[in-house]
A and B are shown apart, each in its own frame.
Chain A
Amino acid sequence: MARAPKRARKTPDDDGADRLSDLPDGILCHILTFLDTKYAVATCVLSTRWKDLFLSLPNIVLDDSLTRKRRNKKVLLEFAKFGLKQIMLRDVPHINKFGLRCNFNFKDPAIQTLVCAAIWRNVKEVDICVGKRVVTGILPPEVFTSRTLVVLKLRGRVKLDVPEFVSLPKLKVMLLGDFILASDDSMRRLFRGCKLLEDLSMSKCNFWLVDVLDLSTPLLRKLSFSYPCSIVETKLVIDTPNLEFFEYRGHTAKFNLVKKLKSLARAEIYFVTAPKLKNSFVEDHRENVSEFINKLCGVKSLYLSIDSLEAMYPGCFSLYVFETLTALELVGAFNLQILPSILESAPQLEVLIIPISWLIYHDARGEAPYSLPETVPVCLAKHLRNIKFKYFRALESVFQLVKYFLQNGKVMERMIFSGLGPWDSDLSLSARKKISMFPRCSETCEIVFEQY
């Protein structure tokens, strides 16, 4: 059949020349890497030059919600076919990243094949997000035996079924989100199969079916638990001697930190207290939480929800000695009177951030000035350089405290007050004036005021 005549060529005038033609293919491809695969591939019809550009893209990101068509079996198959073709056709030594956002029935064989195909093409990073509407879903076992996988991110409110045999020799980063963890055994199999794991995050996972979570990964450097569900009865065994960063946000669990974390550089501990805690519950966990904090005592930088800790175990902070702590950030409303005892626990403290809270004027003794210790805490005399007071309140007891710090902070370099409100308000003006007038022990101390 005779070829249809070519479309009449447009005469390119100076202004009409192909503006992108001076750029090398590499740049055009780089532009495409910022696009979801659907849009990147759609560009292939722009001109003959663009036709095969997408073949050299190493990442594939598929999102099945990006279609305007109604979801039915036919559309699902079209999506799967498209995805599979992409994985097969890419002219790269291996797929770098495979991302899949699936709101369809994840269990469908077509989708399962898609995931397997990525694994077969030696993918390095997998990021699967199973949408909320999906009720069931299983991951193909291939995901757990990939020889090349370095980063594995799985999110989805489905039960994480881990196969009998797990071997992920190159895996360094794992993120699990929203999953319902299947059983003790399941988790044990998972962690046993990734010996090189360095970074583990579990976000909003459900521990209902797990009695003991055993995290004994020798090379783990970063660990993060964020808002685990139903974890209060779970025993968390953490044997990770090389941990450098530890984050825990959520209800308290039955912690068992096997050894003191000596390499810990930073810890972020944010306990969420249930409003109606039974006394027995609190008592049960007391020893446990106490031991837990104790094992963190070698940390250098700490972010801590002091309010929940004090609520559960008043005065517990003063039982610890944080020998190497240099930066401390406290959050939550707590009675500032315990501040000196907190300072006693951290003799090397250099940086301190504290919120000023309403608890001050709810003190039983009213607003009467309280006595601050005559023996100045070691850190205040020797190391404390930077203090930031957040959510400033112009209360007498607060001014007293500030005065105390200024009077005794021998090496104080900077004190920051934030939350003063609009710059020209009476409150702000008088507070600033008052604070500026306090005598300072450290000649080099600088005071900074911030509105918010």
Chain B
Amino acid sequence: MPSYTEVTEKKMVVLRSSDQVIFEIDESVAFHSQLIKNAIEDDCAEPAIHVPNVTSKILAKVIEYCKRHAAATTDKVPDGTLATTDKVADGTPATTDKVADGTLATTDKVVDGTPATTNKVANGTPATTNKVANGIPTTTNKVADGTPTTTNKVADGTPYTTEKVSVGTTYTTEKVAVGTTDKVADEDLKAFDAEFVKVDESILVELMKAANNLNIKCLVELICQTLAEAIKDMTVNEVRQAFKIENDFTQQEEEEVQKENAWAYE
């Protein structure tokens, strides 16, 4: 694959779980963990980073989380578009093209702000790339006289043409733009988070331990919040059962503690 000058080479990081399973992940994904980030910066990452307290099962889940969150944050806004100063309501045009399933498409970084889906057509006949929500494949309408509709020019001048397609044929480009706004992308991420934590309490605690060991702040926050919500709706005994907390109070001690903060139990 040709390399583009603006795109830094993809660096991979190797992790080894407690049960000796190897995971190879992108550096941007790995950087979600402050621990790994420090290890890499201090040059202690070769040949692999050993994660002794985390099993492969849990590590795989953690990596899944980091991957999804990495994809959500690396969309770049074309130069010059007002991204940060204008807090315009939903629908701000200052959005970038987001990829449907979270895969980061690395080939579409273009210089000087020209959006990557530049339709350059020879004779002025316009063409559009229709963008649809949530990964539905797009159709590119063929223009009447057979002119190929999309010629995308990428940074270093290498042109690449998409196939000439007739109306109705669906195909997916490497970069399927989701014609949605930042707001919907945020909601997608929230939905992912909500699904991610729909697991058994024991798994949640294991994930928490892993996130804490690896120092992944956002995951720690997410699980803390989830556990808090779970605890809120449980009685004292239910909490004890769910998290296998041993009650080492005597009957008397327990009653006393409850009396001291009576209102909390009403």
Name A residues whose Cβ lies closer than 8 Å to a Cβ of B.
Answer: 3-7, 9-10, 12, 16-20, 22-24, 27, 30-36, 38-39, 41-48, 50-51, 67-69, 75, 78-79, 81-82, 85, 265-266, 300-301, 303, 326-327, 329, 350-351, 353, 385-388, 390, 413-414, 416, 418, 423, 432-433, 435-440, 443-444, 446-451
Contact with A along B240-263 (1 / 0, CB 8 A): 100111111111101001100111
**Cβ–Cβ < 8 Å partners of A353 in chain B:** 88-89, 91-93
Given contacts A47-B247, A301-B85, A351-B86, contact A34 B93 (CB under 8 A): no
Q: How far is the CA of A439 from the CA of B94 in the complex (A)?
A: 24
**Cβ–Cβ < 8 Å partners of B265 in chain A:** 42
Q: How far is the CA of A33 from the CA of B243 in the complex (A)?
A: 18
Contact B251 A350 (CB under 8 A): no
**Cβ–Cβ < 8 Å partners of B177 in chain A:** 448
| Stretch among B60-68, B190-198, B222-230 lining the A interface | B222-230
27 contacts across the A-B interface (CB closer than 8 A): A4-B252, A7-B247, A7-B248, A10-B246, A18-B245, A19-B201, A20-B243, A35-B231, A39-B264, A41-B261, A42-B261, A45-B249, A46-B239, A47-B246, A47-B249, A82-B261, A301-B86, A301-B87, A387-B93, A388-B92, A414-B115, A437-B126, A446-B128, A447-B128, A448-B179, A449-B131, A450-B179
Contact B93 A45 (CB under 8 A): no
From A3, A39, A413, A436, B231 is in contact (CB under 8 Å) with A39
**Cβ–Cβ < 8 Å partners of B240 in chain A:** 46-47
- At the interface, yes or no: B1 with Cβ under 8 Å from chain A? no
Q: How far is the CA of A436 from the CA of B150 in the complex (A)?
A: 13
Closest to B229 in A: A34
**Cβ–Cβ < 8 Å partners of A85 in chain B:** 261
Closest to A82 in B: B263
Q: How far is the CA of A82 from the CA of B261 in the complex (A)?
A: 6
Q: How far is the CA of A433 from the CA of B144 in the complex (A)?
A: 12
The minimal Cβ–Cβ distance linking A209 to chain B, given in whole angstroms, is 33
Q: How far is the CA of A337 from the CA of B236 in the complex (A)?
A: 66
**Cβ–Cβ < 8 Å partners of A386 in chain B:** 81, 93-94
From B88, B118, B131, B224, A448 is in contact (CB under 8 Å) with B131
Contact A303 B212 (CB under 8 A): no
| Stretch among B22-30, B33-41, B98-106, B202-210 lining the A interface | B202-210
Most chain A Cβ neighbours within 10 Å, of B88, B89, B201: B88
The minimal Cβ–Cβ distance linking A409 to chain B, given in whole angstroms, is 13
Contact A4 B251 (CB under 8 A): yes
**Cβ–Cβ < 8 Å partners of B229 in chain A:** 34
Q: How far is the CA of A78 from the CA of B261 in the complex (A)?
A: 9
> Which bucket holds chain B's interface residue count?
35 or more
- At the interface, yes or no: B175 with Cβ under 8 Å from chain A? no
Contact B91 A20 (CB under 8 A): no
Contact B264 A351 (CB under 8 A): no
Given contacts A6-B248, A78-B263, contact A31 B118 (CB under 8 A): no
The minimal Cβ–Cβ distance linking B212 to chain A, given in whole angstroms, is 6
Interface contact tally, CB-CB below 8 A: 208
Q: How far is the CA of A17 from the CA of B266 in the complex (A)?
A: 30
Contact A300 B85 (CB under 8 A): yes
Contacts A10-B246, A18-B243, A300-B85 aside, 13 further interface pairs with beta carbons under 8 A come to: A6-B250, A18-B245, A45-B258, A47-B245, A350-B82, A351-B92, A351-B94, A386-B81, A390-B91, A413-B114, A423-B132, A446-B117, A447-B126
Most chain B Cβ neighbours within 10 Å, of A3, A12, A17, A447: A447
Closest to A16 in B: B244
Contact B224 A27 (CB under 8 A): yes
10 A-B pairs closest in CB distance: A386-B93, A34-B228, A82-B263, A301-B86, A327-B86, A41-B264, A436-B128, A42-B264, A19-B205, A31-B224
The minimal Cβ–Cβ distance linking B34 to chain A, given in whole angstroms, is 15
Closest to B239 in A: A46
Contact A43 B82 (CB under 8 A): no
Contact B124 A439 (CB under 8 A): yes
The minimal Cβ–Cβ distance linking A396 to chain B, given in whole angstroms, is 20
Q: How far is the CA of A350 from the CA of B83 in the complex (A)?
A: 12
- At the interface, yes or no: B120 with Cβ under 8 Å from chain A? yes
From B85, B94, B254, B258, A265 is in contact (CB under 8 Å) with B85
**Cβ–Cβ < 8 Å partners of A78 in chain B:** 262-263, 266
Contact B228 A35 (CB under 8 A): yes
Closest to B204 in A: A19
**Cβ–Cβ < 8 Å partners of A19 in chain B:** 201-202, 205, 243-244
Q: How far is the CA of A45 from the CA of B253 in the complex (A)?
A: 9
Closest to A85 in B: B261
**Cβ–Cβ < 8 Å partners of A31 in chain B:** 224, 227-228, 231
**Cβ–Cβ < 8 Å partners of A79 in chain B:** 263
Contact B264 A444 (CB under 8 A): no
**Cβ–Cβ < 8 Å partners of B266 in chain A:** 67-69, 75, 78
Closest to B149 in A: A436
Contact B261 A47 (CB under 8 A): no
Contact B88 A444 (CB under 8 A): no
Given contacts A23-B209, A34-B224, contact A48 B249 (CB under 8 A): yes
